[in-house]
Structure 1
Amino acid sequence: MKYLDEFSDPALAAKLIDQIKSATTQRWAIMEVCGGQTHSIIRHGIDQLLPDEIEMIHGPGCPVCVTPLEVIDKALDIAARPDVIFCSFGDMLRVPGSGQDLFGIKSRGGDVRVVYSPLDALTIAIDNPDKQVVFFGIGFETTAPANAMTVYQARRQNITNFTLLASHVLVPPAISAIMESPTCRVQAFLAAGHVCSVMGTEEYPSLCERYRVPIVVTGFEPLDILEGIRRTVLQLETGSHELDNAYQRAVRAEGNPAAKTMLTDVFEVTDRNWRGIGPIPGSGWRLSPRYREFDAEYRFAVTDIHTTEPKQCRSGEVLQGLLKPHECEAFGTTCTPRNPLGATMVSSEGACAAYYQYRRLEVTHA
């Protein structure tokens, strides 16, 4: 109960809010990079408790949301094949592709299964040697080690009917892309604590210096986020731009060396296309040549599938912090969790889903 009680204490939250208000003398725009932080901010009304001068911008920190449409279409192509058992986490099943989603494939007889770990998919492959088993591996640096370990084990155990459809993206290049955008309004970042628990914080000081922005690593409970905002405001008000680790109970500067070694062995850095944002150089991982035989894109020959993003969904603007979800004309009308136009409305970490779930339904457009 420690983190439910101590890190949600309303009296301590009130003190932190008072300290933030006392320190704030001008307007500041702070982006939280992680979708989990976005949901915590909206669920607990943290953005509404802050002084009016502070704007929280919801960044592209939802891995489901930034998975490009062409990767979803590749998944749909593979999942529809009769010799395939397609495994995925549950929040991918309702993400729309060009014409359908994984639930649609499943309803028409496709063998699409929800698993809770990529190792579950490996077990399914062992139990079904006559089928090709594919795991849909998406996410930031947080989920990548488990996917890397699964591929490593498949190779080690010679499980030849298992492959990974990988769409991993990396946070530091995304921060660079955001800061270099001509429409950027971000003046500081709350970095994702779980990402830094894996990768450490070594890449962030150079970003602080290059773009002259504070980056504060923080967790996901209400007091974690408020403390992160407090430290960020103090830096902004004094003109500082440094890395500050406010999540030391989980994050070390060096990260997790064993996980990083596994990632270096199994993956290699590649350019990635981000849904609604576009290509970001060096912002993703793909399987290295040593493990290419376990790459579903190559085994099923779907590398040439390319798709244009639909214009009616404005999730790209939401992911870049240019638009709040309820400012979109489709929000809550033609776009709902039951009938989504984009992934930000159905992902458990999507900003549109958070606004819809916690009733932030004010329509500000004409």
Structure 2
Amino acid sequence: MRYIDEYRDGALARAIAVTIAREAVPDRRYQFMEFCGGHTHAISRYGIEDLLPANIQMVHGPGCPVCVLPVGRIDDAIRMAMRPEVTLCTYADLLRVPASGDTSLLKARAAGADIRMVYSTLDAIRLAEAEPDREVVFFAIGFETTTPPTAIAIRQARKKRLTNFSVFCNHVLTPPAIRAILDSPEVPGLGRVRVDGFVGPAHVSTVIGTLPYDSVAAEFEKPVVIAGFEPLDVVQAILMLVRQMNEGRHDVENQYIRAVTAQGNLIAQREIAEIFEVRASFEWRGLGELPASALRFRESYADLDAERRFVIETIPAADNPACECATILRGLKKPAQCKLFGTLCSPETPMGPCMVSPEGACAAHWTYGRFRDKAKIDAEKAIA
């Protein structure tokens, strides 16, 4: 299959890995964060870490939109869904994410809430048209990648004059999260995550382009390489990061030239800017309150804002204290270092969102790496 098989050539991947091992300075340590959960799954699925020399370590980042959504916002959605007049529409991976009080959207549905799984924003629009007596709320989450479809749905609702449709907006922004990772304080007992460079997100960058990363790379002097999701994309991006470090550079480079441009998708950006504006701050699981890191409705579209329609005031809620999702999202721990991983926490009985979401690091390790030798984890601890 064109543009798939070419990027999964095992022999070529091993050849690039040999080049990486040859160019990596033996007495130097390289620690790169793959921001996106899609890259985490690619690294686990194709065993990319096994191809790398011991002095190159990959760190999982917070690029899983379901994972970074705080408990309080899921509680908000459940409270909305429990209203007798509301039909809440959401994507499948949100249904099983644990909320407060040992509940979830799935459990709320079992208790009688009208919560329906949809495949797209336009499914929610069609539902609002078909059931005009119901208040249909779309639970919108995601980074810049999924924001344009939400904007399209809002435009459709306005065009169709749907008065029973609204959106609970939880769209978040990538560059502020990268900045927060680099500028984060030390965590007692865990220290501070070391990041020498980033494998930048692919899908997000098709929308925003490469330019928004320039200021982060320059300010923190960390290289960023935007990469596709195939194994050859990832190993080539790692080689590019190694070369930048060796040469003392901190540029934004684009490995994913077949899909990403410097300017990004200007049409999608205009759609987003027409409807949304940046929030003053927003809470992220694992990262806390981050300034200018999420979107909200502009005043001209306030009638379609579920937060205003239902007067939502988020009540902060703590994560399960035994769950390590927050530290995993910050790159301070790996999934197998969580005491719950593979015991109390599994895809059948998830204790945190990182095991629920298809982009979660714990789900990736469970699916592709749970049988790996514990000695590898011990070796990583020794290097750290």
| TM-score, normalised with respect to structure 2 | 0.93
Give yes or no for contact 2:180–2:287 (8 Å, CA) kept in 1.
no
Q: Is the 8 A contact 1:3 1:221 kept in 2?
A: no
1:17 aligns with 2:20: no
Task: Tell me how far 1:102 sits from its aligned partner.
Answer: 1.1
Greater mean alpha carbon deviation, residues 49-58 or residues 285-294: 285-294
Q: Which residue is equivalent to 2:84?
A: 82
Residue deviations 1:218-265, cap 9 Å, x none? 110001111111101110111110010111110011111111001001
Equivalent in the alignment of 2:222: 213
Residue 114 (structure 1) aligned with residue 124 (structure 2): no
2:290 pairs with 258, 280, 292, which one? 280
What are the Cα deviations for residues 42-84 of structure 1, in whole angstroms up to 9, with x where unaligned?
A: 1111012111110000000000000111110011111122222
Unaligned stretches of 5+ in structure 1? none
Query: Which whole-Å CA distance do the structure 1 matches of 2:172 and 2:289 have between them?
Result: 11
Q: Post-superposition shift, 1:302?
A: 1.9
Residue-by-residue CA offset, 1:181-231 (whole Å, 9 max, x unaligned):
131300100111111110111111111110001000111000111111110
Aligned to 2:207: 198
| 1:275-324 Cα distance to aligned partner (Å, 9 max, x none) | 12201110111111111111112212222433233322111110011000
Q: Distance in 2 between matches of 1:306 and 1:126?
A: 34
> Which residue, out of 241, 259, 277, partners 2:250?
241
Per-residue Cα deviation, 1:16-49 (whole angstroms, up to 9, x for no partner): 1111111101210000010011001011110121
* Structure 1: distance between partners of 2:207 and 2:277: 16
The equivalent residue for 1:67 is 69
Match of 2:276 among 248, 251, 267: 267
Indicate yes or no: 2:339 matched with 1:339. Answer: no
Q: Structure 1 counterpart of 2:125, which letter?
A: L
Aligned to 2:189: none
| Residue identity matched to 2:21 | K
| Counterpart amino acid of residue 4 in structure 1 | I
Alignment partner, residue 38 of structure 1: 40
Secondary structure, counterpart of 1:40 in structure 2: helix
Amino acid paired to 1:342: G
**Counterpart residue identity of residue 37, structure 2:** G
- Match for residue 327 of structure 1? 337
Counterpart among 120, 141, 153 of residue 138 in structure 1 = 141
Alignment partners' CA distance in 1, 2:112 and 2:79: 14
Q: Provide the secondary structure at the position in 1 that maps to 2:4.
A: helix
Instruction: Provide the C-alpha distance between the structure 1 equivalents of 2:197 and 2:285, rounded to a whole number of angstroms.
Output: 23
CA distance in 2, matches of 1:294, 1:307: 26
> Residue 80 and residue 236 in structure 1: after superposition, are their counterparts in 2 closer, same or farther (change >3 A)?
same
Q: Aligned pair 1:184/2:186, yes or no?
A: no
Q: CA deviation at 1:109?
A: 2.6
In structure 2, the partner of 1:227 is: 236
Quote the Cα distance in structure 2 between the aligned partners of 1:292 and 1:332.
Answer: 44
- SS, match of residue 246 in structure 2: helix
Match of 1:258 among 267, 286, 298: 267
What CA distance in whole angstroms lies between the structure 1 residues aligned with 2:266 and 2:369? 41
Structure 2 equivalent of residue 48 of structure 1: 50
SS at match of 1:293: helix
**1:7 alignment counterpart:** 7
Superposed structure 1 runs of 4+ greater than 3 Å apart = 361-366
1:342 deviation in Å? Answer: 1.1
- State the match for 1:289 in structure 2: 299
- Tell which deviates more after alignment, 78-87 or 322-331: 78-87
Unaligned runs of 5+ in 2: 186-191
Tell me the matched-pair count.
366
Q: CA offsets per residue over residues 167-189 of structure 1, 9 Å max, x none?
A: 11111111111111131300100
Task: Compute the displacement of 1:110 (Å).
Answer: 2.1
Identity of aligned residues (%): 46
Equivalent AA in structure 2 for residue 320 of structure 1: R
2:308 pairs with one of 283, 298, 303: 298
Looking at structure 1, the residues matched to 320 and 300 of structure 2 have their Cα atoms a distance apart, in angstroms, of 36
Distance in 1 (CA, whole Å) between partners of 2:13 and 2:211 is: 30
RMSD of aligned alpha carbons: 1.4
